[in-house]
Amino acid sequence: PAATGEYAVPVIREMIDKSMPTFGICLGHQMLGIALGGKTMKMHQGHHGANHPVKDLTTGKVEITSMNHGFAVDKDSLPGNVEQTHISLFDGSN
């Protein structure tokens, strides 16, 4: 994902600087993580398929999602001003 961000990441940073609400799904989520100062990492086993439980850390609720990716945002690389709101209940990844 980091190699694909050459053009997308600067545009995402501009959107963030303008306080535009921004939501990323799959590669968009990874690009958003990079734009916020984080890094991505290759997963040992990716997430593929339906019925993946994800916990919303702000509400405590569990949501069921569909996923198809082999990279994740490294939650430990996110700066202190970035709040992680959801985690996979399969492996705790962001």
Segment 64-90, tens digit of pLDDT: 999 999 999 999 999 999 999 999 999
**Residue 2 confidence (pLDDT) above 90:** no
Mean pLDDT, range 13-32, rounded to an integer: 93
- Whole-model pTM: value is 0.88
**Backbone phi and psi for residue 90, each to the nearest 5 degrees, phi listed first:** -75, -45
The CA distance from 84 to 27, in Å, is 17
Confidence of residue 4 (pLDDT cuts 50, 70, 90): confident
Which pLDDT score is estimated for 65?
94
